[in-house]
Structure 1
Amino acid sequence: MSPIRVLDPKIQNKIAAGEVVERPSSVIKELIENSVDANADEIEVFIEESGMKLMRIVDNGEGIHHTDGPLLFQRHATSKIDDDYDLFQIRSLGFRGEALASIGAVSKVKVETKHREGDPVLIQFEGGTLKEEMPGRERQGTDISISELFYNTPARLKYVKSMRTESGKIIDIVQKMALSQPHISFRLIVDHKERLLTKGNGNLKEVISDIYGINIARQAVKIEASDADFKLSGYAVRPEISRSHRNFIHTSVNNRHIRNFKLSQSVINAYHTLLAKDKYPIVIINVEMDPKLVDVNVHPSKVEVRFSKERELNTLVEQSIRNTLRNEMLIPDVSTGNSAPVDKTEQPAMDFSGAKKDALTEQIKRPESVEESDITRKTSLPYQTETKGVYGPDRNTAKQLQDDVAEFKGPEQSSSGSRDIKAMIDEPLEDSRSVKEKLPYLEIIGQLHGTYIIMQNESGMYMMDQHAAQERIKYEFYYDHINTEQDEGVPLLIPYNFEFPLDDIITIDEKLRDLRALGFEIDKTGIKQYSVTRHPSWIKEKNPEADIEDLIQFIARADNFSASKYREEMSIMMSCKQSIKANHYLDKAHMEALLSELRKCDSPYTCPHGRPVIIHMTTYEIERMFNRIMK
Structure 2
Amino acid sequence: MTRIKILPQEVAHKIAAGEVIERPASVIKELAENSIDAQSTQITLEIRNGGIELIRVQDNGIGIAKDELELAFQPHATSKISNAEDLFSLYTLGFRGEALPSMASISKLTLYSRPSYQEHGYKIYQKSGEFVVEPVGTPEGTTVVVEDLFYNVPARLKFLKSAATERRRVLDMATRLALAHPHVAFRVIAEGKPVLSTPGNGRLLDTILLVEGKNIAPELIKFNNEFAWGQVQGYLGSARLAKGNRSGEVFVMNGRVVYNETIRSALEKAYEGLLKGRMFPWAVVAIELNPELVDCNVHPAKEEIRFAEEQILFSDLIQAFRSALRERNLAPKVEKREIFAKTSPKTAVVQEQLQWAPQTWEHVDKVLREYRPERTRDTEAAFAPTTIMEPKPKAEVVQEEKAELDPNVEAEQTESGLEETRNMLI
Post-superposition CA distance 1:351-376 (Å, at most 9, x none): xxxxxxxxxxxxxxxxxxxxxxxxxx
Change over 3 Å in CA distance of 1:127–1:90 after alignment to 2: farther
Q: Which residue of 2 aligns with 1:129?
A: 129
Q: Which residue of 1 aligns with 2:40?
A: 40
- 1 CA distance for matches of 2:117 and 2:278? 55
Q: Quick check: 2:181–2:255 contact (8 Å CA) kept in 1?
A: yes
Residue 312 (structure 1) aligned with residue 312 (structure 2) = yes
Q: Which residue of 1 aligns with 2:346?
A: none
After TM superposition, the structure 1 = structure 2 runs for residues 408-423 of structure 1, keeping only pairs within 5 Å, are none
Post-superposition CA distance 1:438-482 (Å, at most 9, x none): xxxxxxxxxxxxxxxxxxxxxxxxxxxxxxxxxxxxxxxxxxxxx
After TM superposition, give the deviation of residue 157 of structure 1 in Å. 1.0
Structure 1 unaligned spans of 5+: 331-604, 606-611
- 1 CA distance for matches of 2:37 and 2:144? 15
Q: Which residue of 2 aligns with 1:159?
A: 159
TM-score scaled by length of structure 1: 0.53
Q: Which residue of 2 aligns with 1:223?
A: 223
Q: Quick check: 2:126–2:132 contact (8 Å CA) kept in 1?
A: no
After TM superposition, give the deviation of residue 83 of structure 1 in Å. 0.9
Change over 3 Å in CA distance of 1:319–1:8 after alignment to 2: same
Q: Which residue of 2 aligns with 1:617?
A: 335
Residue 186 (structure 1) aligned with residue 182 (structure 2) = no
Structure 2 unaligned spans of 5+: 344-426
Q: What's the secondary structure of 2:275's corresponding residue?
A: coil
Structure with a larger share of its residues in helix: 2
Q: What is the identity percentage for the equivalent residue pairs of Structure 1 and Structure 2? A: 37
Change over 3 Å in CA distance of 1:86–1:119 after alignment to 2: farther
Question: What is the identity, as a one-letter code, of the residue corresponding to 1:213?
Answer: G
Q: Which residue of 2 aligns with 1:67?
A: 67
After TM superposition, give the deviation of residue 130 of structure 1 in Å. 3.5
Q: Which residue of 2 aligns with 1:324?
A: 324
Q: Quick check: 1:65–1:117 contact (8 Å CA) kept in 2?
A: no
Q: Quick check: 2:69–2:124 contact (8 Å CA) kept in 1?
A: no
TM-score scaled by length of structure 2: 0.77
- 1 CA distance for matches of 2:240 and 2:157? 42
Q: What's the secondary structure of 2:239's corresponding residue?
A: coil
Q: What's the secondary structure of 2:137's corresponding residue?
A: coil
Q: Quick check: 1:114–1:121 contact (8 Å CA) kept in 2?
A: yes
- 2 CA distance for matches of 1:157 and 1:240? 39
Q: What's the secondary structure of 2:15's corresponding residue?
A: helix
Q: Which residue of 2 aligns with 1:118?
A: 118
Q: Which residue of 2 aligns with 1:104?
A: 104
Change over 3 Å in CA distance of 1:194–1:218 after alignment to 2: farther
After TM superposition, give the deviation of residue 284 of structure 1 in Å. 0.2
After TM superposition, the structure 1 = structure 2 runs for residues 190-339 of structure 1, keeping only pairs within 5 Å, are 190-330=190-330
- 1 CA distance for matches of 2:151 and 2:119? 32
Q: What's the secondary structure of 2:70's corresponding residue?
A: helix
Q: Quick check: 1:248–1:282 contact (8 Å CA) kept in 2?
A: yes
- 1 CA distance for matches of 2:342 and 2:159? 56
Post-superposition CA distance 1:230-250 (Å, at most 9, x none): 201100012232111122111
Q: What's the secondary structure of 2:45's corresponding residue?
A: strand
Q: What's the secondary structure of 1:236's corresponding residue?
A: strand
Change over 3 Å in CA distance of 1:240–1:110 after alignment to 2: same
Q: Quick check: 1:250–1:284 contact (8 Å CA) kept in 2?
A: yes
Q: How many residues are paired up?
A: 343
Q: What's the secondary structure of 2:156's corresponding residue?
A: helix
- 2 CA distance for matches of 1:299 and 1:38? 23
- 2 CA distance for matches of 1:149 and 1:52? 5
- 1 CA distance for matches of 2:40 and 2:31? 12
- 1 CA distance for matches of 2:80 and 2:298? 17
- 1 CA distance for matches of 2:160 and 2:325? 41
- 1 CA distance for matches of 2:310 and 2:128? 41
- 2 CA distance for matches of 1:229 and 1:223? 17
Q: Which residue of 1 aligns with 2:143?
A: 143
Post-superposition CA distance 1:286-340 (Å, at most 9, x none): 110000000000000000000001111111111111111111133xxxxxxxxxx
Change over 3 Å in CA distance of 1:5–1:190 after alignment to 2: same
Question: What is the identity, as a one-letter code, of the residue corresponding to 2:335?
Answer: M
Question: What is the identity, as a one-letter code, of the residue corresponding to 1:115?
Answer: P
Q: Quick check: 2:70–2:124 contact (8 Å CA) kept in 1?
A: no
Post-superposition CA distance 1:560-619 (Å, at most 9, x none): xxxxxxxxxxxxxxxxxxxxxxxxxxxxxxxxxxxxxxxxxxxxx3xxxxxx5xx33266
Q: What's the secondary structure of 1:22's corresponding residue?
A: coil
- 2 CA distance for matches of 1:24 and 1:199? 24
- 2 CA distance for matches of 1:131 and 1:77? 15
After TM superposition, give the deviation of residue 59 of structure 1 in Å. 0.5
- 1 CA distance for matches of 2:312 and 2:97? 33
- 2 CA distance for matches of 1:119 and 1:85? 37
After TM superposition, give the deviation of residue 262 of structure 1 in Å. 2.3
After TM superposition, give the deviation of residue 626 of structure 1 in Å. 4.7
Q: Which has the larger radius of gyration?
A: 2
- 1 CA distance for matches of 2:235 and 2:128? 44
Q: Which residue of 2 aligns with 1:535?
A: none
Q: Which residue of 1 aligns with 2:91?
A: 91
Q: Which residue of 2 aligns with 1:3?
A: 3
Q: Which residue of 2 aligns with 1:18?
A: 18
Q: CA RMSD in A?
A: 1.9
Change over 3 Å in CA distance of 1:626–1:12 after alignment to 2: farther
Post-superposition CA distance 1:224-267 (Å, at most 9, x none): 00111120110001223211112211111111110012211110
Question: What is the identity, as a one-letter code, of the residue corresponding to 1:186?
Answer: F
Q: Quick check: 2:70–2:131 contact (8 Å CA) kept in 1?
A: no
Change over 3 Å in CA distance of 1:120–1:313 after alignment to 2: farther
After TM superposition, give the deviation of residue 7 of structure 1 in Å. 2.0
After TM superposition, the structure 1 = structure 2 runs for residues 172-571 of structure 1, keeping only pairs within 5 Å, are 172-330=172-330
Q: What's the secondary structure of 1:240's corresponding residue?
A: helix
- 1 CA distance for matches of 2:342 and 2:85? 71
Post-superposition CA distance 1:34-64 (Å, at most 9, x none): 0010010100000100011100001001111
